[in-house]
C-alpha cells in the first residue's frame, strides 16, 4: 500500500490516548492485545465478515460501511443481552485511499462511541474489500440470553419494523435513491438494540437478532429450544414507509422473510408483558407481540381471527 500499515493504523484506527478502561491493559501495537476480563462476568464474543458484492453493494459509501460492519456484530451482543466491551478489526483493502479510510473510520467510531466499545487490535492488508470484526461483551455470570431457552407458552416478540432493511436493499439494487431515505438508512445503518437487550436479559427466555429474516430466525429459536411457534401475521408490525413503498401484501412478505434488519426477536413468559413494554418505552423502541411458543414443533401462521394461513410465493394465502 502507498500508506504503510503502521501509518494507516496510527492515523485512522489508533485512539489509544482516549480514556483507558481498567480491563484494557494493552491495545493496538504489540503481537497481542492484553485484557483483564472483569470478575463476576461472562465474556461473550462473535465474529462476522462483510464482503463487497456479497454483504454490501459495490460502491457503498465508506461511512455507512464502517457503521454497518460494526452494527451487525454489535447486534449479536444485543441478542445475548451483553454489554459491549472491545472489538478487533481485520480489514482487507484493494488500495489505501485516505479519503475512504477517513470516512470508514468515522462511521465505525461514530457507532463505537455511541455504545462505548473500544477498538483494541486488528490487521490491515491488501486484498479484495472485506471487513471482519470480532466484538466482545459482558454479561453477569450465567445471565447470557441464548436462543435455546424458549418455553411452550412464552409470548413471542419482535422489536422495530422488520422488512424495512430488505426494502432498502431492493431500492439500493434498483438505483436512483438517496442515502438519507428512511429505508436506505435502515439497510446501511442498522441500530443494534443493545440497551433493550440488556434490559430484558433477566425477563426473556430466549432471543436472537433478525439477520436471516423474521420467520427463519424464529425457526432458529424454536429448533434450538425443542418447541414450535405460532405467529399471528396480522400482528406483524409493518411500518408506514414500508407499506407505502411496497404495498401491504409485499410489505408483510418482506417483514416475514427479508433479512438484514438486526432487530431482536425474543420470547418471555406472558406475565412479564407489562414490564417488557415498560422497557420498550424506556428505550423508545416499538416492541410487538407477534405470537406464542407452542409444544408442537414447527411453525404455524394464523391471522387475527385465529385461522391458519400459509405463505406462498410472494404473499400468503388463507387455507
Least separation, in Å, of the C-beta of 37 and a copy of itself? 4
Nearer to a copy of itself, 48 or 110 (CB): 48
Least separation, in Å, of the C-beta of 120 and a copy of itself? 8
Nearer to a copy of itself, 92 or 277 (CB): 92
- Residues contacting 116, CB < 8 A, separation 6+: 84
Output the 3-class SS for 166-235. Answer: HHHHHHHHHCCCCCCCHHHHHHHCCCCCHHHHHHCCCCEEEEEECCCCHHHHHHHHHHHHCCEEEEEHHH
Nearer to a copy of itself, 89 or 251 (CB): 89
Least separation, in Å, of the C-beta of 75 and a copy of itself? 8
β pairing state of 41-51 and 308-312: unpaired
Nearer to a copy of itself, 164 or 217 (CB): 217
CA angle 212, 213, 214 (to 5 degrees): 130
Nearer to a copy of itself, 50 or 258 (CB): 50
- Kindly list the residues in this chain that would bind a copy of itself in the complex (CB under 8 A): 25-26, 29-37, 39, 42-49, 51, 53-55, 75-77, 79-80, 82, 88-90, 92, 120-123, 125-128, 130, 132, 134, 137, 141, 144, 146-148, 208-209, 224
**Which of 110, 70, 114, 60 minimizes the C-alpha distance to 90?**
70
Nearer to a copy of itself, 66 or 121 (CB): 121
Least separation, in Å, of the C-beta of 38 and a copy of itself? 9
Least separation, in Å, of the C-beta of 45 and a copy of itself? 6
* Phi, psi for residue 42 in degrees, rounded to 5: -90, 155
The helix (H) or strand (E) run that includes residue 108 is helix 98-114
The β-bridge partners of 308 are 302
Least separation, in Å, of the C-beta of 235 and a copy of itself? 24
Amino acid at each position: 500500500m502507498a500508506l504503510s500499515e503502521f501509518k494507516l493504523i496510527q492515523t485512522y484506527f489508533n485512539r489509544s490516548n482516549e480514556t483507558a478502561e481498567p480491563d484494557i491493559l494493552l491495545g493496538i501495537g504489540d503481537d497481542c492485545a492484553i485484557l483483564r476480563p472483569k470478575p463476576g462476568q461472562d465474556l461473550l464474543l462473535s465474529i462476522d465478515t462483510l464482503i463487497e458484492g456479497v454483504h454490501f453493494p459495490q460502491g457503498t459509501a465508506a461511512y455507512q460501511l464502517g457503521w454497518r460492519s460494526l452494527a451487525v456484530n454489535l447486534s449479536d451482543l444485543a441478542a445475548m443481552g451483553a454489554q459491549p466491551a472491545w472489538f478487533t478489526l481485520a480489514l482487507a483493502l484493494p488500495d489505501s485511499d485516505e479519503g475512504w479510510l477517513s470516512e470508514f473510520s468515522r462511521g465505525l467510531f461514530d457507532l463505537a462511541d455511541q455504545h462505548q466499545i473500544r477498538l483494541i487490535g486488528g490487521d490491515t492488508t491488501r486484498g479484495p474489500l472485506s471487513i471482519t470484526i470480532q466484538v466482545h461483551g459482558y454479561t453477569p455470570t450465567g445471565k447470557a440470553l441464548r436462543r435455546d431457552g424458549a418455553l411452550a407458552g412464552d409470548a413471542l416478540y419482535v422489536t422495530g419494523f422488520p422488512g424495512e432493511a430488505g426494502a432498502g436493499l431492493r431500492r439500493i439494487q434498483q438505483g436512483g435513491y438517496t442515502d438519507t431515505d428512511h429505508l436506505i438508512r435502515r439497510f446501511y445503518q442498522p441500530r443494534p438494540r443493545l440497551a433493550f437487550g440488556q434490559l430484558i436479559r433477566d425477563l426473556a427466555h430466549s432471543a436472537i437478532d433478525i439477520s436471516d429474516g423474521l420467520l427463519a430466525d424464529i425457526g432458529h429459536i424454536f429448533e434450538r429450544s425443542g418447541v414450535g411457534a405460532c405467529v399471528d401475521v396480522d400482528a406483524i408490525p409493518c411500518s408506514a414507509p414500508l407499506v407505502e413503498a411496497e404495498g401491504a401484501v409485499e410489505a408483510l412478505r418482506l417483514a416475514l422473510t427479508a433479512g438484514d434488519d438486526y432487530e431482536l426477536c425474543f420470547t418471555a413468559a406472558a406475565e412479564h408483558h407489562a414490564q417488557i413494554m415498560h422497557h420498550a418505552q424506556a428505550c423508545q423502541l416499538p416492541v410487538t407481540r407477534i405470537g406464542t411458543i407452542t409444544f408442537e414443533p414447527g411453525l404455524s401462521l394464523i391471522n387475527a381471527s385465529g385461522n391458519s394461513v400459509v405463505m406462498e410465493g410472494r404473499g400468503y394465502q388463507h387455507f
